[in-house]
Structure 1
Amino acid sequence: MLRHTLLTLGLSVGLVAVPAAAQAQDYSAPLTTAISDLPTSSEVRTGYSRDLFPHWVDADGDGCSTRNEVLISEADDPVTVGSGCSLSGGRWFSYYDRVSWTNPSDVDIDHLVPLAEAWDSGARSWTTTTRQAYANDLGDYRSLVGVTDNVNQSKGDQDPQEWLPTYDRCRYVSEWVAVKHRWRLTVDSGEKSALSSLASSCTNSTITVTLAR
């Protein structure tokens, strides 16, 4: 569907930015440069609660939560949307483990950069409105990804020095870096070293993002 089509066109993103204050400012650089450009800072978990990131809201008032919006967008087979945004039909491919699912209950929507990681990396200083925008970011296909539920649960809030998917690790690293730039998040020194090491085995493709803040 749309997200998969965008991926085949390269590591790019549409012109939707959240919130609008960013005025669609873009960042673009080869992967290795993009990693170098990420600011380094120690992580601070103090005060974190998932409730500080209101998520799965119905931002456009169409009756579908962010979770269901992603499921509809990422479905490889057409989805029928019923009353209350109930979903039937559809098939979803989890690139983390290369498994397809036909029951949406088997699919988690992963915050590619987890909420706790975002908090550690700067979101602790954001307003609740900005944290909600982050937790429901439909403006960049890399921010929210449909994946096998137990794989997402095994990832938890770990960064790439601690956890990587079984497959498509270069894609994962590129998307991680893209989301960090989109939201102007920092990396810790171990995370940055891991990203640089992983990127050395990847094609040095250009990452382009529209900044969300």
Structure 2
Amino acid sequence: MPRLPHTPSSALPRLCWSSLVALLMLAGCTLDVRFSDDADSTAPSAAPALSPARATRLLESLPRAPRVRPTDYRREAFGSAWRDTDRNGCNQRDDVLLRDAVAGSTRVQQQGRCDHDVLAGTWVDPYSGRTLTLDDLKDPSQAQAVQIDHVVPLAEAWASGASAWTPERRAEYANDLDVLLAVDGPTNASKGADDPAAWRPRKGYQCAYAVHWIAIKDAWRLSADPSEVDALREMLGYC
């Protein structure tokens, strides 16, 4: 599969943010976005407690397979989005938004059985270092500003072994909290379904990203292709 040139997320055009801010101001909504390239600017993370040394060993033990374009991938094969697989009454999106928000910043409400339907809060996107402060997540524009990313994307999981799973196992993967991370919308769009050979977060987060990616692939016994492995080794070099 052809690889796209690596483009750091910090270099992404900010025009999309200017347009989004303008739209939200017209709608009377508040979206406060701050940019930071500081390597110490991090957000609460779902990354497993795994040392870089352990991640390096796990990387070498991952099954190897050639890169295959997932021509038969369908999102529907992973079930409905944000299904309440942990049965706590809240969908997985609200679970991730609450977990990854800056501590004490969220405003929530009771909705049905869910005691933390997230209405507002502040998030630091670990991929880009952007800080998002949103005051109305029921507004579609603001809801799109902070998105839930599958660290190892569903299409990548499909090409790495999930195509052979049962529908139930794929639904579990798609809603596994250890696979999910709250990030900003344009950065999530730039990542798409790419693996680390085609897309990387800012340099200050590449170690954590590689460790997280490897932990997910190991936990779900997903394969890795040679260019992906090379990219992960390089990112582990920043640890």
TM bracket, shorter-chain basis? 0.7 to 0.9
Identity across the alignment (%): 38
Aligned pairs for 1:118-133 (under 5 A) are: 118-133=157-172
* CA deviation string 1:101-150 (max 9, x = no partner): 22241111000000000000000000000000000002x3xx11000011
Match of 2:64 in 1: 40
Counterpart of 1:160, as a letter, is: P
Aligned pairs for 1:1-213 (under 5 A) are: 4=44, 11-12=48-49, 30-44=54-68, 45-54=70-79, 55-76=81-102, 77-83=105-111, 86-103=117-134, 104=137, 105=143, 106-138=145-177, 140=178, 143-166=179-202, 167-199=204-236, 201-203=237-239
- The structure with the larger Rg is 2
TM-score when normalising by structure 2:
0.68
1:78 deviates by 3.2
**Residues 122 and 58 of structure 1: is their aligned pair in 2 closer, same or farther, counting only changes over 3 Å?**
same
Counterpart contact for 1:117–1:158, Cα < 8 Å = yes
- What's the secondary structure of 1:162's corresponding residue? coil
Distance in 1 between the 2:206 and 2:107 partners? 28
- What's the secondary structure of 2:131's corresponding residue? strand
Counterpart of 1:135, as a letter, is: A
* CA deviation string 1:177-202 (max 9, x = no partner): 11111111000111112212222x23
* CA deviation string 1:56-104 (max 9, x = no partner): 1123455421111111121212331243564223211111111122224
Equivalent pairs, count: 180
Distance in 2 between the 1:5 and 1:147 partners? 10
1:4 deviates by 2.9
Tell which deviates more after alignment, 63-72 or 128-137.
Answer: 63-72
TM-score when normalising by structure 1:
0.76
RMSD of Structure 2 on Structure 1 (CA): 2.3
Counterpart contact for 1:109–1:145, Cα < 8 Å = yes
1:37 deviates by 1.1
- What's the secondary structure of 1:108's corresponding residue? strand
